[in-house]
Chains A and B, each alone.
Chain A
Amino acid sequence: MQERYFYHCFPRRGGELPQAIEKGCQILTTIRDLGLVLMPEIIEWNQPSADGAPPRVFPVLQKRVCFTELNSDELPQHTEKFGQFALEFDTNTLRSLGAIPVFYIPQPTAKGDDGNALGVALLGIAMDANAIIQRLAYLD
């Protein structure tokens, strides 16, 4: 059985090859200078309402770095989608540093009348709870 590693591949949205190489080199330079950071990204969520009112829109600042567990034979296919630059890490090392399995939250449909809206509803509640805790901490 082949040994498996965690791979960090980039650039995912690199475009055509010359642009992808340039962008990949830019990212590699950033990694060289700053380390492999939890890169921030603003994700805007839409929570549909049950009564047809406009959805509640709330942005979330997501900070993450992504790795995929693969063996080296699986890497070429993976890089076709996620970028031709690949950094390999020992799985146990990354796990000891706090890498955890990804938790996907399904995007609700436009109507929001199916189970897919549950995830964003829970996320909204978590955001509200976080806001309350932050305000309490501020008062304290």
Chain B
Amino acid sequence: MATILILDDRQINREFLVTLLGYAGYHMLECADGAAALELTRAKRPDLIICDMVMPTMDGLEFAKALRGDKSIAHIPIIIYTAAFRTGEANALARSCGIAEVLTKPTEPEVILSTVSKVLGSAVGAPAPALVRDSVSRLLKRELANASTGRFR
């Protein structure tokens, strides 16, 4: 399963994406600032980076440029996940730095999942092993199976 690095200075934003994408079975890494994220990227080689635009010390633009400037990690795709009022800047960054996609906060979870899947070029993975969720998932599959027998409402 792919590894995804979340770069955002706000912990709750990282927690949101780690929770959501964790459900899809991705291996999640997180960082609060660009310099540390570059080090982590060199060490762990994630398959995708989801990056905020506005951050202290190193913003999304600087981070993307630094990444593209290092041949060993320059190939890693980046998704920008940024506040709505920064969309214009984010799109400009996307054009200049080869950003794969720009998502605007807040984005519906389904859109985030499908965008990540598209960028990674892979299907959404297996669910994480959480007891309640797995149980509900099994229940849902049973209910979907019942649809063919007319029990589904």
Binding site for B on A (CB under 8 A): 5, 23, 26-27, 29-42, 59-61, 63, 65, 72, 75, 86-89, 93-94, 97-98
Sample of 8 more A-B contacts, CB < 8 Å, known A37-B23, A40-B15:
A34-B23, A34-B113, A34-B137, A35-B136, A41-B16, A42-B106, A89-B143, A97-B136
A30 neighbours in B (Cβ, 8 Å): 109-110, 113, 124
Given contacts A34-B127, A98-B132, contact A27 B110 (CB under 8 A): yes
Q: B124-137 vs A: 1/0 string, CB under 8 Å?
A: 10010000111111
Binding site for A on B (CB under 8 A): 10, 12-13, 15-16, 19-20, 23-24, 106, 108-111, 113-114, 123-124, 127, 132-137, 139-140, 143-144, 152-153
* Cβ of B145 to closest chain A Cβ, rounded Å: 12
Which listed residue, B10, B19, B137, touches A36 by the CB 8 Å rule? Answer: B137
A93 to B132, CA, bound (A): 11
A93 to B110, CA, bound (A): 26
* A89→B139 contact, CB < 8 A: yes
A60 to B135, CA, bound (A): 26
* A42→B23 contact, CB < 8 A: no
Q: Taking CB as reference atom, which chain B residue is nearest A37?
A: B23
Question: Among A23, A37, A86, A94, which residue has the most Cβ atoms of chain B within 10 A?
Answer: A37
* Cβ of A31 to closest chain B Cβ, rounded Å: 6
Which listed residue, A26, A33, A37, A93, touches B139 by the CB 8 Å rule? Answer: A93
A94 to B153, CA, bound (A): 17
B109 neighbours in A (Cβ, 8 Å): 30, 39-40
* A40→B153 contact, CB < 8 A: no
* Cβ of B73 to closest chain A Cβ, rounded Å: 28
Which listed residue, A26, A40, A65, A93, touches B114 by the CB 8 Å rule? Answer: A26
